[in-house]
């Protein structure tokens, strides 16, 4: 039987992979993919929380519907916003590539001190 904890564990693994990817990799595009992994971990957690929510007090049916609708709209908004973020991010990375012919962030180290 798959329980809420299984989903939360999976989402934690996804999130950790994302964090490790951002920390360890030097390629801006791979870092971008790792960030997406982190956001998907959050989405997975929210959807799992909705699916396994205990019956809420009072008028349980209506309260559950409100909670579920609330959470799912949140998931859709996270999806769209992260799409917008990737759109801008790719443009920024392409600009870096045009300037330096590389997307390695270790080579781009003009600013320091």
Partner 1 sequence: MTTPPPPFPDLALMAVSPQAVLLITALVILCLDLLGKKIEKINITLTALTGVVAAYACTQGLSASDEAVFAGMVWRDGWSIYLDQLFLAGTALIVLLSHLYAERQQMDAYGEFTVLMLFATLGMMVVSISADLVTVFIGIELLSICLYVLTGFNKSSLASGEAAVKYFLLGAFSTGFFVYGLAFLFGVCHTTNLGAIGQAAAMEEGTPLLVLGFALVLAGLGFKISLVPFHMWAPDVYQGAPTPVTAWIAAGSKIAGFAALARIFSLPDLSFAPLGELWAEGIWLLSLATMIVGNAGALVQNDIKRLLAYSSVAHGGYLAMAFTARNTVGLEALFFYLAAYLFMTIGAFGIVMLARRNGEECCSLADFSGLAHQHPMLGALMAVFLFSLAGMPFTAGFVGKLWLFGAAIQAEYYVLAVTGILTTLLSFYYYLRVIVYMYMREPESGTVFDPPAASGVIATGMAALGIVVLGVFPNLVWKVLAAQMRGI
Residues lying near partner 1 in the complex (CB under 8 A): 11, 15, 18-19, 22, 28, 31-32, 35, 38-39, 41-43, 45-46, 49, 53, 56, 62-63, 66-67, 70-71, 73-74, 77-78, 81-82, 84-85, 88-89, 91-93, 95-96, 99-100, 105, 108-113
For residue 32, what are the contacts with CB-CB under 8 A and spacing of at least 6? 86, 89, 90, 93
Is the distance from CB of 41 to CB of 106 less than 8 angstroms? no
Measured distance CA(81)–CA(73) in Å, rounded: 12
CB of 18 to partner 1, least distance (A): 6
1 vs 54 by CB, closer to partner 1: 54
Instruction: Please state, as a whole number, how many other Cβ atoms lie within 10 Å of the Cβ of residue 11.
Output: 21
CB of 69 to partner 1, least distance (A): 10
22 closest CA partner among 10, 31, 14: 31
CB of 48 to partner 1, least distance (A): 8
CB of 68 to partner 1, least distance (A): 10
Measured distance CA(14)–CA(20) in Å, rounded: 10
1 vs 55 by CB, closer to partner 1: 55
């Amino acid at each position: 039987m798959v329980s809420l904890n299984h989903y939360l564990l999976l989402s934690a693994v996804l999130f950790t992979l994302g964090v490790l990817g951002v920390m360890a990799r030097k390629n801006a595009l791979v870092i971008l993919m790792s960030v997406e992994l982190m956001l998907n971990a959050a989405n997975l957690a929210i959807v799992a929380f909705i699916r396994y929510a205990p019956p809420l007090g009072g008028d349980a049916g209506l309260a559950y519907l409100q909670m579920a609708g609330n959470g799912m709209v949140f998931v859709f908004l996270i999806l769209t916003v992260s799409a917008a973020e990737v759109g801008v991010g790719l443009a920024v990375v392409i600009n870096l590539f045009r300037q330096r012919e590389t997307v390695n962030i270790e080579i781009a180290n003009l600013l320091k001190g």
